[in-house]
Structure 1
Amino acid sequence: MNRAAAAIFLALLCSGCPKRIDFGPQGPITRAEELFRLTSAAQDQVATLQGDGKIRIESPQGSGTVSAFLAVSRPGLLRVEMFDFFNRPIAVLVTDGQRFGLLQFQENKYYQGPATPRNLSRFLPVALPSEELVSVMLGKVPFIPAERMTLTLDEKERLYVLTLHKGGVSQVLHVHPKHLRVVRSQVRGLETYGLEYENFKEQGDFVFPHEVTLRAPGADTSLGLRYTGITLNESPDLTLFDLSAPEDIPVVEVDEGGQSLPPVALPPASPGS
């Protein structure tokens, strides 16, 4: 066999070989509890985020992509500003974890009330507590409280498969073997949402996903978020989370279920005032 033919043979042979799994400096992990501990620590490294992104919504009510400015800080501070194709403001959502304010430009109204999942779903097509929504946006997967854990290795996808079990409910986590970040999360035995994280980029001593997709199969709805220019772990500008109503905008107070409350009657003016 001449040299050219030998080189082609070796190239074809190697192309059929599975790629080596990069387990990083820690090496292969065989204990589920250890992987869970390291993965939890890895996704706890980011506490704040601020910058620009794109939000993609797909639901039975409609689909589309908008530009957004985002400011997020654990445990429950969130500001999302949405803009249309011509960079005109559509809406602004602000919450401190307890209360929320929603400015709808088309309606020219400012909604405010308790930051319940129902009220936050006025803005985003998912009903999540604000702290959980903040966690998801910061790349942190909420875990079920596991009674036991199992661990396998998917050699085809080159990912760990860590499964958390609690009674009849399980959460299947596909974890990157080097960065120890969750790539996919799916809960079985409970009607909830799934998560997918992609486009991981190094940020100093850690990696952070710049794309997240939340899928709610029961509602046939998905929410995608792609960060295009962000900073991480900088001191948050707390003025971004001010819940004061804008001037000259009608205010609508809503209850926990999102129902409008009657306007509060002002006390009568005292004589001589």
Structure 2
Amino acid sequence: MNRAAAAIFLVAVCSGCPKRIEFGPEGRIEDPEALFQVTSQAQANVVTLQGDAKIRVASPQGNGTLSLFVAISRPSLVHLESADFFNRPVAALVSDGQRFGLYQTEGNVFYQGPASPENVSRFLPVVLPSEELVALMLGQVPFIPAERKTLALDADQRLYVLTLYRGEVTQTLYIHPKHRRVVRSEVRGGRGYDLFFEDFKQKGNQVFPTQVELKAEMARTELRLNYSDVTLNAPPDLTLFELAPPEGARVVEVDARGREVAPAPPSPEGGPPGA
């Protein structure tokens, strides 16, 4: 066999060989509970994020893309600012986990009220509690409270497959074998959504997904978040989470469902409000 034929033979043989799976320093993990614990810790290591992003939404209510400035801190501090195509401010949403405020430049209106899922999710086509919103934007997966777990290894995708069970509900987690971060989460048997994490980059001593995608099949909704320049785990600037309305803005109080609350009638002099 001449050298050219030998080279072609070797390429053909090697192309049919499975690629080697690179595990972490501890080697392959066989126990589902052990993998769940190290995966939980790997994603929990990111506690704050600040930087720029774009969010793309596709839903029955409409499609669109927004530029965002994002500052978030676990468990429930949120600051989101949106801008238009010309980078002019459009709206800013702030929540401290108990109260929220939303300032809209159009109309110079400041909405405030309880930090309910309906209120803190006003930038999104899906309704999420503030803790869950923060987790997703930190590239983390909310786990179902599992009654049992199973573990397999997908050699073709070179990923762990960890499945959590609770009654009829399952959550299947596809986990990178080296850095132990979830790359895909699928919930079946109940109301939920699928998550996809891509374009992982080394940020300091953390491995972080700079692209997060949410798909809610029942709601026919997709949301994609792309980070362009972010800082992780810096001390949060707490002034970003202050809820005071801008000077001169019209203040509107809303309830937990986002509905405007009529102002209380003025109280008679010396009497309790509403007397």
Question: Do both proteins adopt the same fold according to a TM-score greater than 0.5, normalized to the shorter chain?
Answer: yes
Change (3 A) 1:104 1:256: same
Aligned counterparts of 1:13 and 1:266: Cα–Cα separation in 2: 85
In structure 2, the residue matched to 1:252 is 252
1:123 is displaced (CA, Å) by 2.3
Q: Aligned ranges for residues 174-185 of structure 1 at < 5 Å?
A: 174-185=174-185
In structure 2, the residue matched to 1:56 is 56
1:269 is displaced (CA, Å) by 7.8
1:134 maps onto 2:138 in alignment: no
Amino acid across the alignment from 1:252 = V
1:206 is displaced (CA, Å) by 2.5
1:148 is displaced (CA, Å) by 0.6
In structure 2, the residue matched to 1:239 is 239
What SS does structure 1 have at the residue aligned with 2:21? coil
Aligned counterparts of 1:96 and 1:82: Cα–Cα separation in 2: 18
What SS does structure 2 have at the residue aligned with 1:35? helix
In structure 1, the residue matched to 2:8 is 8
In structure 1, the residue matched to 2:27 is 27
Aligned counterparts of 1:219 and 1:235: Cα–Cα separation in 2: 37
In structure 1, the residue matched to 2:273 is none
In structure 2, the residue matched to 1:166 is 166
Aligned counterparts of 2:118 and 2:70: Cα–Cα separation in 1: 21
In structure 2, the residue matched to 1:106 is 106
- Offset from partner CA, 1:37-80 (integer Å, 9 cap, x none): 11011011011000111111111111111211000101100101
Of 118-127 and 68-77, the range deviating more from structure 2 = 118-127
- Offset from partner CA, 1:150-191 (integer Å, 9 cap, x none): 001111111111001111111110101111000111111111
Judge conservation of contact 2:159–2:174 (CA < 8 Å) in 1: yes
Aligned counterparts of 1:204 and 1:191: Cα–Cα separation in 2: 36
What SS does structure 2 have at the residue aligned with 1:43? helix
Amino acid across the alignment from 2:109 = K
1:100 is displaced (CA, Å) by 0.6
Aligned counterparts of 2:240 and 2:120: Cα–Cα separation in 1: 17
Paired residue total: 270
Judge conservation of contact 2:46–2:206 (CA < 8 Å) in 1: no
- Offset from partner CA, 1:101-139 (integer Å, 9 cap, x none): 111222431111011111223322111110110011112
Judge conservation of contact 2:116–2:130 (CA < 8 Å) in 1: yes
Amino acid across the alignment from 2:250 = P
In structure 1, the residue matched to 2:91 is 91
1:265 is displaced (CA, Å) by 4.2
What SS does structure 2 have at the residue aligned with 1:133? helix
Is there any run of 5+ residues in structure 1 with no aligned partner, and where? none
Aligned counterparts of 2:268 and 2:244: Cα–Cα separation in 1: 25
What SS does structure 2 have at the residue aligned with 1:29? coil
Of 258-267 and 226-235, the range deviating more from structure 2 = 258-267
Aligned counterparts of 2:134 and 2:230: Cα–Cα separation in 1: 15
- Offset from partner CA, 1:188-238 (integer Å, 9 cap, x none): 111112111111111233311111011111211112111100100000000
1:189 maps onto 2:189 in alignment: yes
1:82 maps onto 2:82 in alignment: yes
Aligned counterparts of 2:12 and 2:88: Cα–Cα separation in 1: 54
What SS does structure 1 have at the residue aligned with 2:27? coil
Identity of aligned residues (%): 61
1:264 is displaced (CA, Å) by 3.6
Taking structure 1 as the reference length, the TM-score comes to 0.95
Aligned counterparts of 1:222 and 1:98: Cα–Cα separation in 2: 27
What SS does structure 1 have at the residue aligned with 2:218? helix
Aligned counterparts of 1:153 and 1:87: Cα–Cα separation in 2: 46
C-alpha root-mean-square deviation of aligned residues, in Å? 1.4
Amino acid across the alignment from 1:3 = R
